[in-house]
Amino acid sequence: MSLVQSEYQRLVDGMTPAQRMERAANLLAWSRQVTGRMIVKEMGAMSPERLKWQVALRHYGQDPMMRKLIEEAMTHVSGTANT
């Protein structure tokens, strides 16, 4: 294990459970933001609600049941930032 990996592991091991959960939540939020920016770049501007569902589709759409639920929810959402 490298010196950097050892230090990282030492810091993670020193976290409380609450700190670990907060870190996980922050990483998930960061991941959703990155995915959202990629979607807007690919598809153009859309309402925040539609973007939320597009991100969900990108993250969870591989599961057929989740895809069906997300696509159903998207039928009730406006399509662009102006609508």
82 within some domain: no
Which pTM does this prediction carry?
A: 0.79
pLDDT in tens, the chain (83 residues): 899 999 999 999 999 999 999 999 999 999 999 999 999 999 999 999 999 999 999 999 999 999 999 999 999 987 665 44
38 within some domain: yes
81 within some domain: no
29 within some domain: yes
83 within some domain: no
30 within some domain: yes
Q: Where in the sequence is the domain holding 21, given as residue range(s)?
A: 15-74
Q: Looking at residue 15, what is its pLDDT?
A: 96
CA distance 39 to 2: 36
CA atoms within 13 A on the CB side of 46: 20
* Tally of domains in the chain: 1
